[in-house]
Amino acid sequence: MPGKLKVKIVAGRHLPVMDRASDLTDAFVEVKFGNTTFKTDVYLKSLNPQWNSEWFKFEVDDEDLQDEPLQITVLDHDTYSANDAIGKVYIDIDPLLYSEAATVISGWFPIYDTIHGIRGEINVVVKVDLFNDLNRFRQSSCGIKFFCTTSIPKCYRAVIIHGFVEELVVNEDPEYQWIDRIRTPRASNEARQRLISLMSGELQRKIGLKVLEMRGNAVVGYLQCFDLEGESGLVVRAIGTACTLDKLSSPAAFLPACNSPSKEMKEIPFNEDPNPNTHSSGPSTPLKNQTYSFSPSKSYSRQSSSSDTDLSLTPKTGMGSGSAGKEGGPFKALLRQQTQSALEQREFPFFTLTAFPPGFLVHVGGVVSARSVKLLDRIHNPDEPETRDAWWAEIRQEIKSHAKALGCHAVVGYSESTSICEEVCILSASGTAAVLNPRFLQDGTVEGCLEQRLEENLPAGCGFCHIPYDELNMPFPAHLTYCYNCRKQKVPDVLFTTIDLPMDAAVIGKGCLIQARLCRLKKKAQAEANATAISNLLPFMEYEVHTQLMNKLKLKGMNALFGLRIQISVGENMLMGLASATGVYLAALPTPGGIQIAGKTPNDGSYEQHISHMQKKINDTIAKNKELYEINPPEICEEIIGSPIPEPRQRSRLLRSQSESSDEVTELDLSHGKKDAFVLEIDDTDAMEDVHSLLTDVPPPSGFYSCNTEIMPGINNWTSEIQMFTSVRVIRLSSLNLTNQALNKNFNDLCENLLKSLYFKLRSMIPCCLCHVNFTVSLPEDELIQVTVTAVAITFDKNQALQTTKTHAEKSLQRASTDNEELLQFPLELCSDSLPSHPFPPAKEHLESASSNSGIPAAQRATSVDYSSFADRCSSWIELIKLKAQTIRRGSIKTTVTVEKASPVGEGNFRNRSSPPCANSTVGVVKMTPLSFIPGAKITKYLGIINMFFIRETTSLREEGGVSGFLHAFIAEVFAMVRAHVAALGGNAVVSYIMKQCVFMENPNKNQAQCLINVSGDAVVFVRESELEVVSTQQPAATCQPSCTGGEVTT
Amino acid sequence: MASELDIFVGNTTLIDEDVYRLWLDGYSVSDAVALRVRSGILEQTGATAAVLQSDTMDHYRTFQMLERLLHAPPKLLHQLIFQIPPSRQALLIERYYAFDEAFVREVLGKKLSKGTKKDLDDISTKTGITLKSCRRQFDNFKRVFKVVEEMRGSLVDNIQQHFLLSDRLARDYAAIVFFANNRFETGKKKLQYLSFGDFAFCAELMIQNWTLGAVGEAPTDPDPQADDMDMDLDKEFLQDLKELKVLVADKDLLDLHKSLVCTALRGKLGVFSEMEANFKNLSRGLVNVAAKLTHNKDVRDLFVDLVEKFVEPCRSDHWPLNDVRLFLNQYSASVHSLDGFRHQALWDRYMGTLRGCLLRLCHD
């Protein structure tokens, strides 16, 4: 009996009217866990019932604690007929099961009904008492921490990164059970929600057991998906990376860690630190005389072998398993051996991480991916999900062999996905082949000498670009050059990866979002014929997507892609491919050549003219893009003052490369450099169209940048304003006899228009960057294309782009001063009115001093810490004042009561962990972001994983505002429920938020629609940097100079 | 390629003030798009008309979802569905409850019933305000009325508490509710020159002095629900006002009153002779207005009577405002020296308010 779950139902509010006669409701609550149910009393005639129940106690196994959700149902009591359900709340109590996370769940939860949406709120308190588990043969895995974040979470240190964990569970989909014909849609939806919740819990527990076996204590980069296979069942599967994490416990411990380029620094990945010292002096990665031999290459190639219903795509087929380097000597061999042994123990040396502790990633080979087309059949025995397991095992095996072919032992940035249409399913997996440093892979015993030597010599910022494969035995044709950074190793001309840009990578200019979009018509077919047709199309699609990516990359004047994600979706009569990645110019790789157009019918004069015209247009575009993204090849870069890459290390590198300049100059002549130029032959309309589509991509309006990685290369002065959003568009293709071209154009327009709309909507945030732009495409019906985008817009400070070495304190001052400017429109009104006198005068004073300070650089640095904290406080006063200004404008003397109540209190509400935000009436702000960090803030605690699944259905679509109204309301409700759960855990943000599924089905004729949404993320507590600084200055251990804390701002 | 579905949902709800205004003004999506295009936004941002259309639709949808909450503003503060910064919430509420001067003049003092609602299209045509906007404003009036109707305590405070309006706007609503409740006639031709501000000013004075709540002490009435404290005029007070009749009925008293006023004002008034000639008429007018207030019908005609009996005579003799003020001050004060008159307190309660109202009403 290892756990006691205690639940208290406090109150409800804003309940719907359930009794038309009295316009009131007689509500009571059922609390269910497992098979035990408790009920509260009926609270008569109220829309705001106060149950204030006793503590309901459930004595349960910890296995159940992990699997089962707590189910709270609010009902309306009816004396004569059956009680009407108002709605439900499912609470995942997993966060209460491990010690460092939340201790209590307490707060207002939206009461959710799958037919009516949110109907009021209920205040609940949940606690768990865990007893020590003495059973050695236990099935539970309480205590394993789960993180969606695909890097080592901020307040932890990775001791060992164990590796890949995966699991899947299957079940019948309640929607397709016979009973569904006789039960209500509500009952069916609830059965589904509950089942998926149960399966998620079970899955998490099983993965936890595997982690325990590996002696880990956490799963990072946990990604759980479900496949709705229709008739054949429901699959919930998850992958993740098992780790042993150490908490950087006290705030004092982690503060200095970030502030000095000490050893700990390395273990906090992803702190993109603008402080150059860290990089230049700090030890970092790869070996100096590393000669893994091997050779460079392009990261990508494909070959396919297809069998009847089963096709595998091989991005890489070479045999080039790494032969040992000649110059490497014993040391390298040793390293290699260790790495290998560490990795080869594992079935799949995969890592779902996309960002790594410094030193972890040694070389990157390129993208590896595999796809396979399967026919779904009924899952006969849910307890033996062997078929699905076998399918995935097959694909993983293929990925592994691709990685080997690239001379790599491991795959990082690994992910899996599916696309299902009727009984055909495409399974896809992709990742980045890489060579890893064994230091993190096993227990410390081996580390000793190795580590030291590792850290001696480091070609910083370019090591990962060096080819891991054999130069003489390349798996595919590629163009190799010596690294432009260290001049010692070979690098490929282009690099594609699925990971985030390593933080120490030397990059020139800014990055940008690059997308390849593609549609292919397919004949409608059944079963095997259909699968074969799809299998036959896949290689062509992959090839075209790749070509598009390559062309667009060159058009941008860049040479590497990060965060590459290729999605192939299958529909009844077409296939769609959407690839998104962030293009950058890696300093280590050669300058990309231009794009040359060649016609095949050279006789026609006007045709030639046309071609040369196109050529000119392309060259102009490349030149324009280079300017836009500030890509200045090294030679020029020297002269450009204020290039956004301020690291001295890089400058010195640039100096070195100057000697080579004579070589390079010719390469700048884009169209004529024959060695690198990419030749496009336009001998048919298809190719013409390709060229056109290249040129139709419009760059974002000025002040906007976009990327699909966590951080935007070249921008590191984020301010704290963030706006996460989801946008969904569905278009209906107009005619039935569509051509591939028309389809492509439609799809392209859809994506481009969507981006344009986003830029327009977010124009008030300029200058800003859309980060982690995540497009998903699906084909819900015959002529429908659905595109869903989730991203976060983050503002940054333009003025500071040139002054990255500035202290954080100064940054916050500037922020305060911009606030001040915004306020300037009010001052008259403010002065003439009787404001509460105490906060105002000091605020004004400090603002003045703050704004005057911001212009003065170094001189005032010493005092700046104090100022910044003031500035921050001022800005909260400003908020208050702003509110007043609004009302004052209408000439009032008093301020409304509520406005005062609602002001900054809300924000501060959750900062104080000791006071749970439960009965408080003000709604606290909960931030949501797909990134693993919050700009301008420090994450101090991870409260647990949020993994929620909702179904919403309507039979009155028109009345709810049509499909747009329906989905808009539903997504807003999903956000609200996520925020409420986070707030109840005591958190104030969700990081690594992802909407994994948004399945929308409509039947306008029947006035019906249904939507399923699955979201996840990590609930966290964050503290604003400015507040943190107050703490840090109080710390006597003053290793932290304010100038160093600057590093945190940008993370 | 028609967009079947097109939505944007932010974690923080985006509110575009310009679009909100267009929505409040009752423009359809296509009209709003046209107006936005005319504002030059496309040139500023480089967006296309399609983008604007989608953006406008999105905002309109958001506002429609918010409207339900705006009907009970405290709900907007406590709801969890839309994360909106407090300053934005205040803006949403304030703008939603703002009204057009032209519209409020049309319905001020009318019963907030279905009948009046039917006349809204006429009002819409007359004022040029869209029917949609008229409906919103009318419904706002009615909603506030319904909520505070049965409530005890200060009208302004009640409105502020339940609708979270700024002080100024809450006062305006108090006036609207007060007028609707007492059905004061404001639509007559001779009252057209008066603005909503004039009426609101009078309403505030009357609420402060002539209602039950104005007495300032808890009603001794055993059934405290019997009267709304701030909305209804104090019946007892109105009844008592009959006693003032003696001021004009008793000829000696009237003469004495006149001589007191004339003595005090001689040489101070530009229109002294006109005042002297008209005194009895004016005094009769003012006192008779008071005496008649027992009848509901006469209460409704209060402003008509005041304008007829006092404002118009003054206007026809071209009294300067300052002279009106001097006269009214003296006219009220002199009564204290009339030994035979016993209702000094009653007189002050009546005249104190009326003096303020009359001064406000005396303009062109």
The DSSP-derived string for A664-693 is HHHHHSTTT-TTTPEEEEE-SHHHHHHHHH
Chain A, residues 691-710, CB within 8 A of chain B, namely 701
Question: What pLDDT is attached to residue A909?
Answer: 37
**In this structure, is residue B226 part of a structural domain?**
no
Q: Is A210 helix (H, G, I), strand (E, B) or coil?
A: helix
From B158's Cα to the closest Cα of chain A, the distance in A is 12
How many other C-beta atoms are found inside a 10 Å radius of the C-beta of residue B308? 15
Closest residue in chain B to residue A703, using alpha carbons only: B45
pLDDT tens across B256-307, in order? 999 999 988 888 888 888 888 888 889 999 999 888 888 888 889 999 999 9
Statement to judge: residues B78 and B106 lie in one domain: no
Rounded CA separation B123/B141 (Å): 15
Statement to judge: residues B110 and B184 lie in one domain: yes
How do strand A27-33 and strand A36-39 relate by DSSP bridges? antiparallel
Phi-psi domain of A78 (left: phi exceeds 0; alpha: psi -120 through 50; beta: other): beta
Nearest CA to A767 out of A798, A791, A793 is that of: A798
Statement to judge: residues B165 and B267 lie in one domain: no
From B54's Cα to the closest Cα of chain A, the distance in A is 8
From B275's Cα to the closest Cα of chain A, the distance in A is 38
CB contact under 8 A, B94 and A968: no
Question: What pLDDT is attached to residue A891?
Answer: 33
* Close Cβ partners of A928 (under 8 Å, ≥ 6 residues apart): A724, A975, A978, A979, A989, A990, A993, A1017, B11
Residue B165: band (very low, low, confident or very high) from pLDDT cuts 50, 70, 90: very high
Q: Is B67 on the interface with A (CB under 8 A)?
A: no
**In this structure, is residue B178 part of a structural domain?**
yes
Class of domain A144-249 (CATH, top level) = alpha beta
Q: Which helix (H) or strand (E) holds B328?
A: helix B321-334
Q: Is A124 on the interface with B (CB under 8 A)?
A: no
Q: Is A734 on the interface with B (CB under 8 A)?
A: yes
Q: Is A958 on the interface with B (CB under 8 A)?
A: no
**In this structure, is residue B299 part of a structural domain?**
yes
Give the closest of A903, A928, A969 to B86, CB-based.
A903
Chain A, residues 522-551, CB within 8 A of chain B, namely none
Backbone angles phi, psi at A162, to 5 degrees: -75, -45
Backbone angles phi, psi at A583, to 5 degrees: -85, 140
pLDDT tens across B57-105, in order? 999 999 999 999 999 999 998 889 999 999 999 999 999 999 999 999 9
CB contact under 8 A, B61 and A961: yes
* Close Cβ partners of A850 (under 8 Å, ≥ 6 residues apart): A813, A816, A817, A820, A867, A870, A871, A874
**In this structure, is residue B262 part of a structural domain?**
yes
CB contact under 8 A, B55 and A761: yes
Q: Is A27 on the interface with B (CB under 8 A)?
A: no
Question: What pLDDT is attached to residue B242?
Answer: 87
Q: Is B37 on the interface with A (CB under 8 A)?
A: no
Statement to judge: residues B339 and B244 lie in one domain: yes
CB contact under 8 A, A963 and B165: no
Q: Which helix (H) or strand (E) holds A314?
A: strand A311-314
For chain A, which residues make up each domain, given as ranges?
Answer: 1-136, 144-249, 346-442+461-630+674-800
Rounded CA separation A673/A682 (Å): 20
Cβ-Cβ contacts under 8 Å, B3 against chain A: 729-731
From B362's Cα to the closest Cα of chain A, the distance in A is 24
Q: Is A893 on the interface with B (CB under 8 A)?
A: yes
CB contact under 8 A, A701 and B83: no
Statement to judge: residues B263 and B330 lie in one domain: yes
Cβ-Cβ contacts under 8 Å, A903 against chain B: 86
Do A29 and A52 form a contact (C-beta atoms < 8 A)? no
Cβ-Cβ contacts under 8 Å, B2 against chain A: 731-732, 734
CB contact under 8 A, B166 and A887: yes
Rounded CA separation A899/B92 (Å): 12
Rounded CA separation A587/A650 (Å): 9
Rounded CA separation A811/A807 (Å): 7
Q: Is A159 on the interface with B (CB under 8 A)?
A: no
Helix A527-555 vs helix A685-696: crossing angle, to nearest 10: 60
Number of structural domains chain B divides into: 3
Cβ-Cβ contacts under 8 Å, B56 against chain A: none
CB contact under 8 A, B8 and A923: no
Task: State the first-to-last Cα distance of chain A, in angstroms, to the nearest integer.
Answer: 44
Give the closest of B4, B82, B160 to A896, CB-based.
B160
Cβ-Cβ contacts under 8 Å, B48 against chain A: 756
Chain A, residues 972-1001, CB within 8 A of chain B, namely 972-973, 975-976, 979-980, 1000
Rounded CA separation A90/A193 (Å): 9
Give the closest of A729, A902, A926 to B6, CB-based.
A729
Statement to judge: residues B64 and B147 lie in one domain: no
Question: What pLDDT is attached to residue A740?
Answer: 82
Burial B117-146 (b: 16+ CB within 10 A, else e): eeebeebbeebebbebbbebbbebbbbbbe
CB contact under 8 A, B1 and A731: yes
Tokens of A954: 């309507």
**In this structure, is residue B89 part of a structural domain?**
no
Q: Is A118 on the interface with B (CB under 8 A)?
A: yes
Q: Is B39 on the interface with A (CB under 8 A)?
A: no
∠ Cα A475 A479 A484 (to 5°):
125
Q: Is B158 on the interface with A (CB under 8 A)?
A: no
The percent of residues in chain B predicted with pLDDT above 70, rounded, is: 95
Do B282 and B265 form a contact (C-beta atoms < 8 A)? no
Cβ-Cβ contacts under 8 Å, A927 against chain B: 11
pLDDT means per 10 residues, chain A with 1051 residues, are 85 89 89 92 91 92 84 90 89 81 86 93 90 58 85 86 89 78 86 90 90 89 89 88 81 37 36 35 28 30 33 33 36 51 69 86 88 80 73 91 87 92 90 83 46 46 77 69 79 88 84 90 84 89 88 88 93 91 89 74 68 82 84 53 36 32 30 43 59 71 88 81 93 76 86 92 90 92 90 83 40 39 36 38 39 35 33 38 36 32 36 35 81 90 91 91 93 95 93 92 88 94 77 44 37 33
Probe site for chain A from B53, B60, B87, B161 (most A CB atoms < 10 A): B87
Q: Is B34 on the interface with A (CB under 8 A)?
A: no
Statement to judge: residues B356 and B245 lie in one domain: yes
Question: Which residues span the domain enclosing B351?
Answer: 235-362
From B126's Cα to the closest Cα of chain A, the distance in A is 27
Q: Is B53 on the interface with A (CB under 8 A)?
A: no
Position of tokens 């090839």? A543
Question: Which CATH code for domain A1-136?
Answer: 2.60.40.150
How do strand A1008-1024 and strand A937-954 relate by DSSP bridges? antiparallel
For chain B, counts of helices (H) and of strands (E): 22, 1
Statement to judge: residues B316 and B244 lie in one domain: yes
**In this structure, is residue B10 part of a structural domain?**
no
From A991's Cα to the closest Cα of chain B, the distance in A is 13
From B82's Cα to the closest Cα of chain A, the distance in A is 7
Give the closest of B45, B80, B86 to A760, CB-based.
B45
CB contact under 8 A, A108 and B80: yes
CB contact under 8 A, B7 and A973: no
Do A1011 and A973 form a contact (C-beta atoms < 8 A)? no
**In this structure, is residue B171 part of a structural domain?**
yes
- CA A456 from centroid of its chain's CA atoms: 34
**In this structure, is residue B229 part of a structural domain?**
no
